[in-house]
Structure 1
């Protein structure tokens, strides 16, 4: 369960996110969309405890990220848009390191299954600095999944992946949701969000423009031309903001 209540983040005189509230229940996948600078990454980075909120409450699996950060992070898997690996460690050493950090005993079976699921078995002993961008992304996701988190945050999860990798990651995300994880996907790939997500949160200028189930949001916007795709709805929802900034 993810709960965000009246969350605001300020940087001096600039408000990056203003009075944001939403929830993601177990089994739900929330698509977080908006233009560059809308506040998406700030929201994710605050949820995972990298930066503190200016005000409001954010909780991961009922644990307040400020008051109980260790308990919250033990329930959390976070995949940033540019995952940083240790260049001189192998793929398997990354998994072993992650298992030790989260105190995952007998991790080998789960690690082997993740390597197979993400087509990394033949890269097991490869150093991170010899991996492609897409391979590094898959290693980061495998590490994030290893401790079986109940909350998973993705910031542009498909960066650098080939078509087979994209299919594998989409399948893994669906499987995690079916198993009861609460998931947020921040992405500019609207087709991915529409295909995977059960719910949608549209951010712009640090404020919530729409929040609800995918069908509710698409239905609320409406189109006289009969086009109910997320792409068409997105441009309708952000059009006024863009005109206001011009």
Structure 2
């Protein structure tokens, strides 16, 4: 392997989640979670409600500090340098926060200026149009429905174009047409090298993730490509979320029983 290829390989390794744990008192919300992500990957973080998906995304984004372990983004520890990490990672939570005194367009303007974006206006208008918000550009987000607020947060994130985009339950607030628009945007940006990690318990077939990470009670109990998991759990036909979760949980229980 040449020096150049080694350098490219190192750059492509955007994310390293290493033995991350998070405790609420004596309760583990996350327990030694580890995985890596490369540039351009779409990773589906799946599990039942309360499995730890949202907490994990918040730890990756630097919104929540891990109790143990660490998250490395492009070789930098989230714990040691939260400010610079936020230049590379954006989390869109299931309930995005906004400033009451700023309009939708002013939010885009504020974020564009904060990230030193040039000639951003046309792209911002296209994003608002794609998600049906262009006519609401001068309205205040606190007057929006939950779905509209999530769409605005998506517009802001996609305008900034981070190296890593984290989406927490993106399908919940979106109507079917907006969900289709989201998948088109996701596929376009992953082709350009953006790494996207989304949490869901109702991921549709058309999402086509490169990899699934299955969580249960704060732990990663299985991970792999769709074909790999289908073979591991001997699932025939389409890889449904229910079948995958059920098989992974049963395998985990069997492994613990054998110990």
TM-score by length of 1: 0.90
Q: Does structure 2 retain, via aligned residues, the 8 Å contact 1:199–1:214?
A: yes
Distance 1:206 1:41 in 2: 10
Of stretches 7-16 and 147-156 in structure 1, the one that deviates more from structure 2 is: 7-16
**Counterpart selection for 2:230 from 194, 214, 218:** 218
**Counterpart selection for 1:203 from 198, 201, 215:** 215
2:247 — aligned with what? Answer: 236
Of stretches 102-111 and 165-174 in structure 1, the one that deviates more from structure 2 is: 102-111
Q: Does structure 2 retain, via aligned residues, the 8 Å contact 1:174–1:196?
A: no
Distance 1:13 1:76 in 2: 29
Distance 1:119 1:173 in 2: 17
2:6 — aligned with what? Answer: none
Q: 1:190 aligns to what SS in structure 2?
A: coil
Distance 1:11 1:169 in 2: 34
Q: Does structure 2 retain, via aligned residues, the 8 Å contact 1:133–1:160?
A: yes
Q: 1:23 aligns to what SS in structure 2?
A: strand
Q: 1:146 aligns to what SS in structure 2?
A: helix
- CA deviations 1:64-112 (Å, max 9, x no partner) are 2111211211011210011122234221011011113323233213212
1:126 and 2:139 correspond: yes
Q: 2:160 aligns to what SS in structure 1?
A: coil
Distance 2:253 2:149 in 1: 35
Query: Structure 1 196/9 Cα, relative in aligned 2: closer, same or farther at 3 Å?
Result: same
Please give the root-mean-square deviation of Cα atoms over the aligned residues, in Å: 2.0
Q: Does structure 2 retain, via aligned residues, the 8 Å contact 1:60–1:151?
A: no
Instruction: Name structure 1 gaps, 5 residues minimum.
Output: none
Of stretches 82-91 and 155-164 in structure 1, the one that deviates more from structure 2 is: 82-91
1:155 and 2:168 correspond: yes
Q: 2:179 aligns to what SS in structure 1?
A: helix
Distance 1:104 1:82 in 2: 25
**Counterpart selection for 2:70 from 57, 60, 82:** 57
2:9 — aligned with what? Answer: none
Q: Does structure 2 retain, via aligned residues, the 8 Å contact 1:59–1:72?
A: no
Q: 1:74 aligns to what SS in structure 2?
A: coil
Alignment of structure 1 residues 69-84 onto 2, 5 Å? 69-84=82-97
Q: 1:10 aligns to what SS in structure 2?
A: strand
What number of residue pairs does the alignment pair up?
241
Of stretches 232-241 and 68-77 in structure 1, the one that deviates more from structure 2 is: 232-241
Q: 1:67 aligns to what SS in structure 2?
A: coil
Q: Does structure 2 retain, via aligned residues, the 8 Å contact 1:61–1:150?
A: no
Displacement, 1:227? 4.3
Q: Does structure 1 retain, via aligned residues, the 8 Å contact 2:221–2:252?
A: no
Of stretches 98-107 and 123-132 in structure 1, the one that deviates more from structure 2 is: 98-107
Query: Structure 1 242/227 Cα, relative in aligned 2: closer, same or farther at 3 Å?
Result: farther
1:181 and 2:194 correspond: yes
Q: 1:208 aligns to what SS in structure 2?
A: strand
1:30 — aligned with what? Answer: 43
